Structures are given as C-alpha cells and as structure tokens.
Amino acid sequence: MAKNKFNQNWVHDHINDPYVKLAQKEGFRSRAVYKLKEIDENEKLIKSGQIIVDLGATPGGWSQYVRQKLSGKEGGGIHGAIYALDLLPMEPIADVEFIQGDFREETILAQLETHLEGKKVDIVLSDMAPNLSGNSTTDAARVEYIIELAVDFAKAHLKPNGALLVKCFHGPSYNTLVTLFKNEFKIVANKKPKASKDKSAEVFLLGKGLKNSN
C-alpha cells in the first residue's frame, strides 16, 4: 500500500514538475536537459566546432541540447560532432552518431575510435547513474565505479584542455570522487543546478584541463 502511495505521489510530482512541462513544450526528451543547460550557460562549456561524447545518453535529452548548441538551424547540420553511447536503445537524433553498447567493451570503443579518426574529444558528458539498491554502502560503491569509468574514458580521449561533467551523489563516496577529480583535473567544480530537486542528493562534478594528458 505504501509503495502505491509513493508511486502516486511520484506521478503527481512528475506531471506537475515545471521542468517536465518545459521539456514537453520545447521538444526535449527529458527534464535532465535543463541541468546541463544551466551548467553550460554558467561555465560556457559547449561551443560550435567541438567533438562531444555523451555517455549513458538514452533517452537523448543531453544529446538534443548539444546538437542545438552545435547547429545553426534545424536540419542544417552541425559544426562539430556528437557521439552518444548507451546500453539501451535510443530514438535517432539528427546529426548524432549513436552507438549502442557498453563503452568498456573493446568492440564498442573500436566503433567510437573509428568515428573519431584519431581526433581527441573536447567534452565528455555523463548522466549515467547505477540502479540503486537502497543500501548506502553498496550504492556509493556503484556510483564510484561508474564515475571512475567516466574518468578513465576521459583520460584516454579528452584533449589536454578538455572537460568532463558527471552526475554524482552526496554520500559515502563523494569526497573520494572529488579527490579523484582533483588528482586528474586542473579545475574542479561542484554544480547543483536548479533542475536538480532540492531533496535529491544529486550533484554534478566538472573537471577541466587534464593534469597528465597523453
């Protein structure tokens, strides 16, 4: 019974969420787009001509936003390149190269590297989050693992002055992850955009400029 009440409350909150309504109005696939938009507008991250990788991209809201930033007008192509990766399928987005699979696997990485043709990436975005169990220790370990994967990916593919933005959560592993970012990036910032609900532990970590670029 309690679970049904929780589900009803969630549905009510979701339907009445101003960012859900705005996403529907503006044609975005998820409210998460406004988290990226606020961070981008504050940090001036996404610029025409860049190569951007979107990890954990499905349903595609972040890729839609990036495409808008890299394009002049709808249907007119983009200046730059967007590569979206996810285990789950994603409805196509114009000018976005989608690769379905696990980016830890050699075959999936090889597909991406074929597209990149030896070029390094300007920005790696990751809105990935694990399936949470409710056990804080287990969940912290899962979050940490996913972010470590994103950092490793960024170290291998970013330009020296590139940036990595990841979804993170305040919890047992948060300080460890901030230290990881500070070890790898010259500039590290913690971001809590307005579209992240106040009661949510969700934050975003931004790292700019690799300390040890290949």
| 129-151: pLDDT as tens digits | 888 788 888 888 898 999 999 99
Residue of 35, 37, 155, 167 marked catalytic? 167
Ranges of residues in the chain with a pLDDT under 70 are: 1-15, 72-76, 213-214
The class (CATH top level) of 32-210 is alpha beta
Q: Is 102 annotated as a binding residue?
A: yes
> According to the model, what pLDDT value does residue 57 have?
96
Please state, as a whole number, how many other Cβ atoms lie within 10 Å of the Cβ of residue 48.
11
Active site (annotated) includes residue 167: yes
Q: Where are the alpha helices (DSSP H) in the chain?
A: 2-16, 18-26, 33-43, 61-70, 106-116, 136-157, 174-184
Question: What pLDDT is stored for residue 113 in this prediction?
Answer: 94
pLDDT at residue 72, rounded to an integer = 61
Q: Is 62 annotated as a binding residue?
A: yes
Look at residue 132 in the predicted model and tell me its pLDDT. Answer: 77
**Gap between the Cα atoms of 179 and 168, Å rounded:** 13
The residue behind tokens 């050699």 is 106
Domain residue ranges in the chain: 32-210
Contact 89, 58 (CB under 8 A): yes
Instruction: Report the C-alpha gap between 26 and 20 in whole angstroms.
Output: 10
Does the annotation list 86 as a binding residue?
A: yes
